[in-house]
A and B are shown apart, each in its own frame.
Chain A
Amino acid sequence: MQAKYFDGKTSNSYLVEVKSQMNGLKIESTERDEKINRFWNLENITSESFSSGKKVLLSYGEFPYERIELNGEGAEKLLKLVSEQESKVKSLYHFITNVEPIRLVLGSSLILILVMYSYIFHVSPWVGEHAVKILPMSLETKAGELMYDNMAYMIDRDSLKSELLEEFFVECGFTSTYDIRIDYANDDMVNAFAVPGGQIVVFKGLIQKTQSWDELAALLGHELAHVNERHSFKQITRSMSSYFLMSVLTGDVAGASSVVLENAANLYELSNSRTQETEADVVGLSYLKDNRIRPRAMYNLFERLREGTQELEDKIDSDIDIEKSMEYFQTHPATSSRMENITNFIDSDTTYQYIPKTNPRAEAIWELLKSESLDENDEITESVTDEEF
């Protein structure tokens, strides 16, 4: 077939006839006065074209390369022949650039969506889960301290009641490899949270809501599970790995497409924190079992939480603040479904059919915690020991 030949020395093009032979290409000039008579060994030929196969460029040898340029049907055959001995990746590009446009767009969109999906929902969480194991515990404690120091000014800490809470924790029989510190915050919020490294904060509002000591134990069990399972850190490493995905994509593709991904990742974060909550519920329950504390207390705890949010909801309704209620909706995913899960879990596992132990010391501390004002003069330890006898 006809082609243009360039010798690598000048830009002059020579009209040549290309014939494919056993293990190479025979290139001869069609005009007699320009004597080009070359044989290209197949294994030293590289394809230079990435264009849609209409114009094929082949290159031969070392710098300065000889080149031929050809088009038409024969050109595509020749390209196929050359790319067969080239790398798989290169032939993937050749393949891609020659597929019918509609099929290409539909097919590759589908593959891309599948890969992104599995990256966001499978690869990235797996990386997050396992990366956290490499991180030392001391780093986690440090990060936790830093986080806590940053929000400490917002917490109205009651040091006396905090001490009581820590005592309560020990009385329940809970243990951890982390150094657990518990804050009692003078705030009517019905809430509690755990910071990585062992700091737990419980708000007065929630303690006031509890109706028995083991509900408070269930709460601490739940928060302790967050700490022991390193949930916050897992979330950080996970979002870092989805950030990596985004940076890979936005490095060369338009920034706008990252918006989609970012939202997908956020959506994932949300569902992710939900699974972490469920995990903390289950692990918390096992702590209750280990210490022979009534497992249904976990269920009751959520009843109190629901009551708390119900009140909040009523307040919001009266304010008609849509934005706030939306926010509330997103951060408190389905308390009732969590309660249902807990019931199912306890009922299906026979090891939870034990008779709970009584714990008068813990109960006494709980009562003290609930009492509105605690005088410095109150002999806490004595009153507790009194109960014991």
Chain B
Amino acid sequence: MENYGDQSFKNNQANRLSFHGKGSTFFGIVVVNVLLTLITLGIYYPWAKAAYRKYTWNETEFRDSRFVFNGTGKEMFIGFLIMYAIIISFYASLIFFATFTSGFFVLIGIYLLMLILIPFAIFGGWKYRISRTSWRGIFFSFDGDFKEFLILFVKNLLLTILTLGIYGAWMRVAVQKYLISHTKIGNLRFNFRGTGGDLFGINILGFILLYPTLFLYMPIFIKNRFNFSVENTYIEYGNNRQLFKSTLENKEAWKTLVVNGLLLVFTVGLAYPWTFMRTMKMFMRNVIVPDGFDYDSLEQSSEDYRDATGDELTDMMDIDFGF
């Protein structure tokens, strides 16, 4: 039996994350972003994205220090160009092949491309976001190997297809575990111990209850997913393993998310900056980072990483890291 430490979280307010974002400020950023994106016919988009992230990261606090998103619009714009170059050249070669082979092989080519692009997007997107995040000047880092991840992804995908999607929960956990277990800040490593079975249980419950309750169960479902992710994540250093803790409860989730839903409906979406900030606040303020590590002496151990190709791809494919 592995030991994840035993500590009381009750008097541990110091290790709680907090979120200070304000809807009105975020609204201002949205306006500036939208205007500049329009004026530049969309070219500004990567810079806009950098601004959103800088703001949300910046308003998240741990132990009196804010997180920083170090990525820039320029980096992401370059990532965007590279990604387009890759996709266009691949399609060009497909069209070229299509002139002398049958459509069947072209179709296989497209599937193969997707099979590589989706894990590439997940892997690259995560790596970029993690590597560009810092706290007190110490950068997070990601030391996963793409080949390894690709094999894991394809294996899990095949199992999911074979089981008609049932294995999906296990696949998600496998991907999550891979990404989190290769994430570090300084010399501390993160890890994940959740199981596909647990997630499957949460999903089944959601599947059964969402429709009969006319989606009023949704906040509880989101809370369960959130707590599953947080409470199964731990930090390890040598033999010392300590779990994260979430204090998010049904009542708070329900209240926050239902009010958000109503706000969005009654303002035809204009309240989005406020609801987004409310949601962030709800999530962040309920996370308790494990005690038992010396957060004042984390050592810088990563290198500068600026490749945003995968990140642009996650955006384009609309992949969302729910964890």
Chain A residues engaging chain B, CB cutoff 8 angstroms:
4, 6-13, 48-52, 54-55, 57, 59, 63-67, 69, 89, 92-93, 96-97, 99, 101-102, 104-105, 108-109, 111-112, 115, 119, 244-245, 248-249, 251-260
Instruction: Flag if B136 contacts A13 (CB, 8 Å).
Output: yes
Q: CA A100 – CA B266 in complex, angstroms?
A: 24
SS class of chain B's interface: helix, strand, loop or mixed? helix
Instruction: Flag if A257 contacts B269 (CB, 8 Å).
Output: yes
Q: CA A29 – CA B93 in complex, angstroms?
A: 61
Q: Contact flags (1/0) for B287-305 with A, using CB distance below 8 Å?
A: 0000000011111100110
Instruction: Flag if B136 contacts A6 (CB, 8 Å).
Output: yes
Q: Say whether B194 faces chain A, with CB atoms less than 8 Å apart.
A: no
Chain A residue contacts of B135, Cβ below 8 A: 11
Instruction: Flag if B32 contacts A11 (CB, 8 Å).
Output: no
Q: Say whether B66 faces chain A, with CB atoms less than 8 Å apart.
A: yes
Q: Say whether B172 faces chain A, with CB atoms less than 8 Å apart.
A: no
Q: Given A96-B29, A252-B33, A253-B34, does the pair A260, B269 have CB atoms closer than 8 Å?
A: yes
Closest 7 CB pairs of A and B: A256-B269, A101-B24, A257-B269, A254-B272, A6-B137, A108-B31, A96-B28
Instruction: Flag if B268 contacts A55 (CB, 8 Å).
Output: no
B157 to chain A, nearest CB (A): 27
B230 to chain A, nearest CB (A): 22
Q: Say whether B182 faces chain A, with CB atoms less than 8 Å apart.
A: no
Which of chain B's residues 1-48 have a Cβ closer than 8 Å to chain A?
A: 20-22, 24-25, 27-38, 41-42, 45, 47-48
Q: Say whether B218 faces chain A, with CB atoms less than 8 Å apart.
A: no
Q: Say whether B312 faces chain A, with CB atoms less than 8 Å apart.
A: no
Instruction: Flag if A8 contacts B300 (CB, 8 Å).
Output: yes
Instruction: Flag if A111 contacts B31 (CB, 8 Å).
Output: yes
Which of chain B's residues 110-127 have a Cβ closer than 8 Å to chain A?
A: none
B34 to chain A, nearest CB (A): 6
Instruction: Flag if B296 contacts A57 (CB, 8 Å).
Output: no
Q: CA A12 – CA B138 in complex, angstroms?
A: 10
Chain B residue contacts of A257, Cβ below 8 A: 268-270, 272
Q: CA A50 – CA B25 in complex, angstroms?
A: 9
Q: Given A50-B51, A249-B34, does the pair A254, B138 have CB atoms closer than 8 Å?
A: no
Q: CA A92 – CA B48 in complex, angstroms?
A: 13
Q: Residue of B at shortest CB range from A127?
A: B41
Chain A residue contacts of B41, Cβ below 8 A: 244
Q: Say whether B65 faces chain A, with CB atoms less than 8 Å apart.
A: yes
Instruction: Flag if A251 contacts B45 (CB, 8 Å).
Output: yes
Q: Say whether B264 faces chain A, with CB atoms less than 8 Å apart.
A: yes
Q: Given A11-B138, A69-B66, A251-B45, does the pair A48, B29 have CB atoms closer than 8 Å?
A: no
- 19 example contacts (A-B, Cβ-Cβ < 8 A) are as follows A11-B296, A50-B29, A50-B59, A51-B55, A52-B22, A64-B139, A89-B36, A96-B28, A96-B31, A105-B28, A108-B31, A112-B35, A115-B35, A115-B38, A119-B38, A248-B34, A248-B37, A256-B268, A257-B268
Instruction: Flag if A260 contacts B268 (CB, 8 Å).
Output: yes
